[in-house]
Amino acid sequence: MAEIVLGIGTSHGPMLVTQTEQWRSRLAFDQSVNHAWRGGSWSYDQLVAERADQNFAAQITPEAMTAHNARCQASLDQLAEIFSEAKIDVAVILGNDQMEIFDERLVPAFSVFYGDTITNYEFPPERMAALPPGINLSVAGYIPSGGAEYAGQPELARSIIAQAMADEFDVAAMKALPKPETPHAFGFVYRRIMRDNPVPSVPVLVNTFYPPNQPTVRRCYEFGKSVLRGIQAWESDARVAVLASGGLTHFVIDEEIDRLFFQAMEDRDIARLADLGEAIFQDGTSELKNWIPLAGMMAELGLDHEILDYVPCYRSEAGTGNAMGFVCWR
């Protein structure tokens, strides 16, 4: 039976792969859209007014942002070392797609890649030119120069798919990615945690972002237990790591929600997050649903978790930005 020896939860995103002075390049985006926060839809100006007493100005000085970035990079370096030292044979990665390989014609709630090769090719110039400010600066953090191909692990993937079907999760099965690129949730892991030297892996995608078929918190929790059974059913002596990529709260940072999430992990009671209501898990905060299957799996296994750091990385007076979390189980 395959053995899960390591779990890793890591944030990803432009702020982790760009220079601190570039963080506010996303400010125009923050100011131009309404944001999901506390179950409502808020304009930038409404957030500034509502949260004026939180003194975000002190969090967005060059000195503060530089310090936050340094803490994040130190934690990422530590996670990369932990992964390397664990001598992992195969990884299962939980992440989401943001209309990178899927589009509105088809967005599966859950999908599992079971092919031999994961393609992560560079964007053509016209694609790069069309990317929003800030996003264009981040692409190199997910795709190496010249592009890359990574090994899948079809046998393990088929075991996960078979178990999911037996557990009444009708997952989409992908033998090839719909487009020759890797969603950035996964590209970040291959580049930053595995340092461009990835072990064979099984990408497992959760549609956290896009209505109308976002899985609920409780469904994600149960799905994690199914993935765990699928890994354990694989007849192999491989050492397996399970990683979750995304989160924490963003694009509006909510430290209270993040604390509740960490407390649920501490108590090994991830299922109770469902009591917060689905309206909390929208926009970037929805990526907590990549962590929920992992945290549920680790609770089932009884592995101890360590929070390497939690860094709310603010970039505006409205409290927008990305709360970064870095956790391991072993």
> Residue 45: its pLDDT value, please?
98
Where in the sequence is the domain holding 318, given as residue range(s)? 1-327
Phi, psi for residue 89 in degrees, rounded to 5: -90, -35
Strands (E) located in the chain: 3-10, 35-37, 40-42, 90-95, 110-113, 117-120, 148-151, 172-174, 201-206, 239-245, 305-314, 321-329
Q: What is the mean pLDDT of residues 213-219?
A: 98
Total structural domains within the chain: 1
Q: What is the mean pLDDT of residues 272-293?
A: 96
Confidence of residue 1 (pLDDT cuts 50, 70, 90): confident
CB 131 within 8 A of CB 101: no
Q: What is the CATH number of the domain that holds 32?
A: 3.40.830.10
How far apart CA 181 and CA 208 sit, in angstroms, is 19
Q: Which helix (H) or strand (E) holds 247?
A: none
Instruction: Write the DSSP assignment of 153-202 as a string of letters.
Output: -HHHHHHHHHHHHHTT---EEESS-SSSS--HHHHHIIIIISTT-PPPEE
Q: What is the mean pLDDT of residues 68-86?
A: 99
Q: Which helix (H) or strand (E) holds 212?
A: none
pLDDT in tens, 6-55: 999 999 999 999 999 999 999 999 999 999 999 999 999 999 999 999 99
Task: Please report, as a single letter, which amino acid is at residue 328.
Answer: C
Confidence of residue 187 (pLDDT cuts 50, 70, 90): very high
Put simply, whether the predicted model's pTM sits higher than 0.85 gets the answer yes
Q: Sign of dihedral through CA atoms 131, 143, 101, 44?
A: negative
The token pair at 202 is 């099984």
In 3D space, the residue among 169, 259, 139, 242 whose CA is nearest the CA of residue 199 turns out to be 242
> Does the pLDDT of residue 224 top 90, yes or no?
yes
Determine whether 58 is exposed, middle or buried from the number of CB atoms within 10 Å of its CB (0-12, 13-18, 19+): exposed
Calculate the alpha carbon distances from 270 to 57, 232, 260, 322 in Å: 33, 21, 10, 22
The token pair at 227 is 């993935």
> Does the pLDDT of residue 3 top 90, yes or no?
yes
